[in-house]
Amino acid sequence: MLSFFSKYKFFGAVLLMLSSVIIYLFYNALQPQKMLPVYQPSMVDPTLVDSTLHYKKKYHKIADFELTNQNGKTVTQENYKDKIYVADFFFTTCPTICPIMTKNMAEIQDAIMDDDEVMLLSHSVTPVIDSVPQLKKYALEKGVVDRKWNLVTGDKKQIYELARKSYLAVKTDGDGGAYDMIHTENFILVDKERRIRGFYDGTNREEINKLLEDLKTLKASYAE
């Protein structure tokens, strides 16, 4: 009897291993695939959204834009065509949250350096102060890689409208003063269709990790 079991124990072990693999594959196949939400204005804190959009429940996309980057080059939505990107709002003389946000954005840049599908876009909320030379100086100090990350300045009204009506990321649309837009710490994840897929606290380490995980999920949705 013992010799019988000894003879077939190898086959039993193989059968057990195959059964475990099959069960694992079936389990994973039955799990619902993680999907990121598509954010609409009605899903966001109303204080961050222009009043004309409070009740918009579908079809929200980032509007066309034309701004100038740290190298004096024109940047439009065409530079981000078929790209996933992370956007934020900052200003170079900000002494509080901006240095932390920029440091964390630089870490994201490192993570996506070899990924041609992903880029970064930072908008100055003080475009008059943040001239091209000022942005270039800041970019060099912070390790900005031009092909991955645009720091943009330009028409103040356009930037404010993008912030309020497209990215849903600031708490006022400006009153004409130099510091009249209260930008948030939000990093905004935008997909290839120019839709918002996530908001993250750009000063929070755990939120940055979540953004990077969500980025993987979003990329995987395009690989199917």
Give the predicted TM-score (pTM) of the model: 0.83
Give counts: helices (H), strands (E), the chain: 5, 7
pLDDT above 90 (res 41): yes
The CA distance from 184 to 186, in Å, is: 5
The CATH class of the 41-223 domain is alpha beta
With bands split at pLDDT 50, 70 and 90, how would you rate the model's confidence at 111? very high
Domain coordinates in residue numbering, the chain: 1-31, 41-223
Q: What is the mean pLDDT of residues 58-77?
A: 97
- Rounded to whole angstroms, how far apart are CA atoms 142 and 129? 18
DSSP E strands: which ranges in the chain?
66-68, 74-76, 84-90, 118-124, 149-152, 186-190, 196-201
Q: Which residues are known binding-site members?
A: 94, 98, 183
Annotated binding site for Cu cation: 94, 98, 183
Contact, 152 vs 122, CB < 8 A? yes
Other C-beta atoms within 10 Å of 51: how many? 9
Of 119, 124, 36, nearest to 85 (Cα)?
Answer: 119
Q: Give 146-172 pLDDT, tens digit per residue.
A: 999 999 999 999 999 999 999 999 876
pLDDT band at 29 (very low <50, low <70, confident <90, very high): very low
- Kindly give the residue spans of alpha helices, DSSP state H, lying in 42-184: 97-112, 132-142, 156-161
| Residue 18 pLDDT grade (very low, low, confident, very high; cuts 50, 70, 90) | low
Regarding predicted confidence, which is higher, 207 or 17?
207
* 90 Cβ neighbours under 8 A, 6+ residues apart: 98, 101, 102, 122, 123, 124, 125, 183
Condensed to tens digits (0 to 9), the pLDDT of residues 188-219 reads: 999 999 999 999 999 999 999 999 999 999 99
Mean pLDDT of 112-124: 97
